[in-house]
Every structure is written in C-alpha cells, then in structure tokens.
Amino acid sequence: MKRTAFRLLAAASLWLVALGAASAEERPRYGGTLRVQMKEAVLSFDPTDDKELTAARTRLAFLIFDRLTQIDDQGRVRPQLAWSWTSDAEHKTWRFTLRSGVLFHDGTQLSGAHVVGHFARANDPRWQVRLGNGPQVVVFECANPIYDLPAILASPRYSVVLHAEKPEGTGPFRVESWQPGRQLLLAANLDYFEGRPYLDAVDIQMGNSLRDQVIDARLDRDELLEVDIEQALRLQSARQRVDTSSPSRLLALVFRTQNPALRELLARSIDRNAIHAAILKKSGSPAVSLLPQWLTGYAVLMNDVPDPARLQKLRSDLSKAAPLYLAFDPSDPLNKAIADRIAVNARDVGLTVQVFGEKNLSASSRADALLFTFPAPSANSTQALIELAEAAQVDQNDVLSAGSPEDLFVAEDSLLGAYRVAPIAHLPVTVWLSTRIRNWKTLPEGRWRLEQVWLDSVK
C-alpha cells in the first residue's frame, strides 16, 4: 500500500513538473486589441450593397460576415454556414443544408428563411433561391448550369447579411462602433460557431495617408499596417517584419472604349517587363493572364509573343484614332508612373494616351480606360475568375459553366481575347506586422485571418 502510494505520488509529481514547466511557456493568449491601419477610407462595410467591393471592403467582409461556403488555402471549397450541399446531374439545382445554432451578432438565429430573403433581395438573374425540405435547407435553382456554385458562393459579395438596424453578420467579429471612412471597432464574437477569436477587439483606422514618415511613427503604436510595394521594400531593408503574399492582385487596364481594335492595340503595346522591372522594382510578376500562374497552372499558355503583322494592321487601321483618356488612382504614386509608361508605349504604336488621376476610378465619366488594381481573389480559380469578370463587368457565362481546368482556360482565354481587360502585372499584398502578432498566416490571396491571430504581450 505504501509502495503504491509512493508510485502514485511519483507519477503525479512527474506530470506536475512537466505541466508546470509548460504552463510557464508561451501559449496562445486570449485578449488584447489589434490596432490596424488601412489605406482606404471605407464608407460601407456591408459587402452586399451596390458599392464597389474593394480590397479593403473584402477584408472587412471576411471579419464580420460568413458565407455559405469558404475557400481553403489550396482552393478547395469547405463548409461555412452551409454544412453540406448537393447538386443535380445538370448542376442547375443546388441544395445547401445550413449549420444549426448559428447566431447573428444581434442574437437572431440563422435560418434558411434568412438566407432565402438575403439572396432574394440581391435578385441575381442567375438563380432563384427558395427553402427546401426543412427550415435549414436552401435550394438554388439556376437558370443555366453552374458547375461550381459552392465556390462562387464563397465570395465576400455573397456574405450572408441580416439587414436589421445595421447590417448584422455571423462572422468572428461584430461591429462595436463605426465611423464611416475613419474608424471601425470590432469586438470578438464570443458565440462564433468555429470558436471565438483569440483577440478581444480589432481597432481599424482607415483613410490615413501612410507616407514613409507616418509609417515610421506608427510602428510603435500599431500592430498591422497596409503598406505599398516601395514601403514594403524599405521596411524589409530596415529588418522590419513584412508579410508578402503570392502575387495575386491583378493590375490591369479596364477598357471603357467600345472600339475593339483600339483596345487590342493598346493592350499589345504595353511593355510589361519594363513596368515590372523599372517601376514595380520586380515585385510580383508581369502578367499576360487574368489569374496568376501559381493559382491556375495554365497561365504559361498565355504568352505574349509579339505579332508584328497584327500590330502593323492595327496601327494602319487606327492611324487617325482620337486621343484615349486613361484614368488612374492617384493615392498610390506608382500608378502615375505606370500610366505614364503606358502612354509612352502607346506613342510607340501611334496612339495618343492622356493620363489623369481620378480618386473614384469607377465613377470616372471621361475615361476610356482605367488603370485598375483588382482585389486579390481566393485560391480557387473558378471563384477568382468569376470575381474578376464581375469586377470588370465582362461576360462570365463560360466561367460559370467551366467544369475542368481546360474549360476555365478556354473561358479565361476568351475573356482576354475580347480585350476588355488587359493584364499588366500580378502584385502581392504587403503588410507590416508588429512582432507582437502571433499565429499570423500568409494566405495566398492576402486575406487577413484575424480570428486566428493572438497578441504577444512583449513587443
């Protein structure tokens, strides 16, 4: 008996020593407020309103709202609010079964009726949404086959929003206070169905000019700063912690002119390699495809081998073309340099391009072309191409019916062939991070997964 007791004591001591030592070590700590600086002055955090879904709004959407599905790091579709889904053989009828027990931030329980009402308001002509058998089953009846609807519905633009006094989501963070264009204070959603975030709060300041000296001053105050390419390079050389995603943001010309020959000539005239090397300081990669090579694997097929005969024909057809107006966003100084370079390239093929800065690019009324940076898409090629097509307002039917990489390649090739969008470069998303930030994960598309982040107390 005595020996048994001794053994018990010895064994217990061993565990206590081991666990006691471990408990003194670093562990994921709950709590703390993450202070973030975003460049864009976001005026609405509701991703389903009719405003342009910019990169900043996309990031906020992922923090506050959920979607029926989500895309993982490898581009696979995973359940989110929908626990499972099935389709008919034609891919025209899709049934989604919702997770039970999910709460909106105001305490309302998510039901199929909410989802149906939400999608009915959007009135998307591609599908009709109705309740299925049971309150948690939602059925999408598509006008035409949509091969990968679950991937499409993972887009932030299909976030499920409860339009109460303010837009309510089910996401990992709820809105605590909101000053449009200035500050968004988020608090952890303690009832989040995937577990509450480690952080207590996220304080997002926005719309501030982040010049170099401002950034330097903020390094001691903030934990996360959006920085541009040049700033990232400078901070990296100063041994600061900078996170760079895969090159995924598409910098492109989006044409408004209805003259296809003019679009093609300007697109063909761009010296992408020079822009990449001289202006972008070799950050990211020159682009001739809409989606980057790392994402699709087939972008290597989309080469830009010069076609002098075609160029000559376009030049002679457009010898008397009127000047073309190219608008760029002046908030990033690189945009002006790139626009100027495009104008120089255009001059080489006999086109006159006049560049001008426009704060609200998509509202520009006099531009024939916009120098536009598309937000980084997800790691799912289908969803990414749909997103680009929607943002560029070009036909997406081929993409919707794409069921294989070949189909997607053909669809993308077809989009490119219309010369509505002329890719220039794929750019990474760059942020400066405080050393306090732990569990930060670089996602290929530059999304912030702040629900996984925790703060170390030591800076």
Site for other proteins in 202-221 (CB under 8 A): none
Distance, in Å, from the CA atom of 129 to the CA atom of 131, rounded to the nearest integer, reads 7
Minimum Å gap between C-beta 75 and other proteins is 4
CA distance 146 to 151: 10
Contact pick of 150, 167, 444, 446 for other proteins (by CB under 8 A): 444
Q: Would you say 294 or 356 has its CB closer to other proteins?
A: 294
Decide if 261 contacts 312 (C-beta within 8 A): no
The residue whose two tokens read 């948690």 is 136
- The reply on whether position 303 binds other proteins by CB under 8 A is no
- Give the nearer residue to other proteins in terms of CB position, either 56 or 384: 384
Shortest separation between residue 21's beta carbon and other proteins, angstroms: 6
SS3 344: helix
For 288, phi then psi, to 5°, come to -120, 0
Least distance (Å) between residue 250 CB and other proteins = 16
181, 333, 405, 417: residue in contact with other proteins (rule CB under 8 A): 405
As a dihedral over the C-alpha atoms of residue 237, residue 445, residue 36, residue 193, rounded to 10 degrees, the angle is: -140
Q: Report the residue number, 24 or 89, with the smaller CB distance to other proteins.
A: 24
- Out of 2, 15, 107, 123, the residue judged to bind other proteins by CB under 8 A: 15
Give the number of other CB atoms < 10 A from CB of residue 215: 20
Q: Residue 14: exposed, middle, or buried by beta-carbon count in 10 A (0-12, 13-18, 19+)?
A: exposed
Q: Which region among 189-197, 233-241, 278-286, 415-423 touches other proteins (by CB under 8 A)? A: 189-197
| Beta bridge partner(s), residue 82 | 98
Query: Which of 117, 134, 135, 297 contacts other proteins by CB under 8 A?
Result: 297
Residue among 159, 153, 134, 138 nearest 94 (CA): 138
Question: d(Cα 190, Cα 74) in Å, to the nearest integer?
Answer: 28
- What is the smallest separation between the CB atom of 17 and other proteins, expressed in angstroms? 8
Nearest to 245 by CA among 443, 9, 451, 31: 443
Distance CA 15, CA 65 (A): 43
Q: In which element (H, E) is residue 23 found?
A: helix 2-23
* 8 A C-beta contact, residue 231 and residue 281: no
Q: Examine residue 409 and tell whether it contacts other proteins (CB under 8 A).
A: yes
Residue 417 interacts with other proteins (CB under 8 A): yes or no: no
Q: Is 147 in the site for other proteins (CB under 8 A)?
A: no
Applying CB under 8 A, among 91, 95, 218, 438 the residue interacting with other proteins is 438
Asked if 77 touches other proteins (CB under 8 A), the answer is: no
Q: Could you say whether residue 181 binds other proteins (CB under 8 A)?
A: no
Among 2, 21, 133, 348, binds other proteins (CB under 8 A): 21
The reply on whether position 70 binds other proteins by CB under 8 A is: no
Per CB under 8 A, residues contacting other proteins are 4, 7-8, 11-12, 14-15, 18-19, 21-23, 25-28, 73-76, 194-196, 293-298, 300-301, 379-381, 404-406, 409, 438-439, 441, 444, 452
